[in-house]
Every structure is written in structure tokens, then in C-alpha cells.
Amino acid sequence: MKDMVLLDGNDYAEAGLGVAGIRGGPEPQRVMLIMSDTGSVSPRLVDAVEREFPWILVEQVGSVAAACRSFSHPVALMLVDVGLMGEAEAATAALNRIHSHALAAVIEPHEKQQAASLSAIVDSPLFRSVLPMDMRLDIWLSIIRLMLCGGEYFPPGSMVNARPADVGPVLAYNAAAQPPPRKPENGVSDLTARELQILEMVSRGMQNKLIAAAFGLSEHTVKIHLHNIIRKLGVHNRTEAAARFRTARHSNALFE
């Protein structure tokens, strides 16, 4: 991500980062580990992450070998520069043993010429996500939040197919490639395919900004879809709409 994204203080305000007093919070309990010999994640972005997530301590190493050790706190997320992909995959066993609860993501560079190599992530024994570096700060931080919670992320159009859905309970999706859920009964049969897709993401706890980024929509368009969903379902808010969706999903009505 270009540093200019962070030069204006309005970006911090827009992302809800706050100012004074944040660093006075609790001691970090998890580590976000960056493996890069090219400075893929700038100091400004590191500062933004630690401001947004006071419980996260960012550690940076210049090689995969330097990452094969314990840190002050358990590692929750490993971000690996695309140039170190091969070295990291060769060390998969060691990394998984030492950082057994960490999700690994490839840093997608600003220079899209290198991005084609990221298609190998689908069959990778280590990597489960892609972190784009050409997004607005608030959306980028939302993706970091998703990954820190164990969810997977694939930028729309970056891959033909996302990892199969049966790999585990992680939140994996490529919104541009996902087929719409089948229309269920239980009060949601009037929703369009796009409304069902958006409601599914809402049921997973996704914020409007991340939903908009995943589908290539504006936040305003997402809000309009949510308004229509709430109206069609006859509920009062997105929480009730998500509960209706989960009930239908639990009854297998969505996938019959």
C-alpha cells in the first residue's frame, strides 16, 4: 500500500483509529509477524495496525529463517512477502510447529506484474489468504481484522477458485467467484441472488466496508441492498436479518 494512503490524518479518523491514549491500553497478547526483505509493509501501516488493535504487537523479520522461533506472545498472523513464498513453503513444517495457531497470508504487491504467481496459493500447504496492498486504509484494516480472527481473504479476481469450503471452520471466500446461494424458504425466498450473498456476509459479521470491497461495490450500494433485505424480510435491523438467514441455513433450506 502506498504511503500516501496514510499521509492525511483524516484516514486515521475515518478508520476509527483515535489518537491519544490508545497505547496506554493492555499489553499486546498476540503477534502479527511480517516476513519481508523489501519493506512491503511500511512503518506507517505498522503504526496503524498497532493503533487499531492494541492487543497486537507487530514483529518484522527479513527472512523466513528468522521467523522460525518463538516470540514474546503467540503469533496470530504471518504476512509473507511474495518474494519469500518459496522459502516459506519449504519451511512449512517448522512454521506450523512453532506458530501452530497462526494463519499465513501472502502480501500481494502494489506491482501487479508479480501477482500472477499468487495463483499457487490454492494448492499451498502453508498459505491460506492474500493481503492486497492497494486498498483504502479502513478496508485494509478490516481485512487484517478478519485474518487476525482466523478468516481467509482472497481479493476479487485474484484467483479463479478459492480454497474449497470444507477445509475447516475458517471464513474463506472470493466474493467475485462464489455462486449465489440457492433461494430458501423460511421468509427469504423473495431475496435476489446478490441480496442473499450480502446477507450471508452479514451473518458472518462482515462490516459494510469489507462487503463492499469483496463485491466491488460502494458502501452506499451495500446499504441500499441491506435496506431492501430488511424490508423484504419484515425485520427491524441487520441483526434480525442475519438471524433469519442462519435459521434458514441451519434447516438446510439454503443448500437443498
Query: What span, in angstroms and rounded, lies between the C-alpha atoms of 59 and 64?
Result: 13
pLDDT of residue 149: 79
pLDDT(30) > 50: yes
Nearest Cα residue to 76 out of 55, 58, 101, 51: 101
Quick one: cell of 61?
523479520
Dihedral of the alpha carbons of 208, 214, 215, 220, in degrees to the nearest 10: 20
Contact present, 229 and 198 (Cβ < 8 Å) = yes
> Is the model more confident about 22 or about 67?
67
The CA-based angle 98-105-135, given to 5 degrees, is 145
Residue 14 has pLDDT above 60, yes or no: no
* Residue 117 pLDDT: 52
Please state which of the ranges 46-50, 63-67, 188-192, 198-202 shows the lowest mean pLDDT: 188-192
Residue 181 is predicted with a pLDDT of: 46
> What does the pLDDT read at residue 74?
94
Enumerate the β-bridge partners of residue 108.
132
Q: What is the pTM of this model?
A: 0.59
Mean pLDDT of 21-50: 80
pLDDT band at 27 (very low <50, low <70, confident <90, very high): low
pLDDT at residue 17 in the model: 37
Domains (range + CATH), the chain: 4-167 (3.40.50.2300), 193-250 (1.10.10.10)
The residue ranking higher by pLDDT, 136 or 9, is: 136
- Compute φ and ψ for 57, nearest 5 degrees: -110, 125
The order of strands in the sheet holding 75-81 is 56-61, 30-35, 75-81, 103-108, 127-132
pLDDT digits (tens, 9 = 90+) for 92-137: 999 999 999 899 999 987 655 444 455 567 678 899 888 888 888 9
Tens of pLDDT, residues 142-192: 889 888 877 778 776 554 344 443 333 334 444 444 444 444 445 677 788
Q: Of the ranges 145-159, 176-190, 195-209, 223-237, which one carries the lowest mean pLDDT score? A: 176-190
pLDDT, mean of residues 45-65: 94
DSSP class of residue 3 equals T
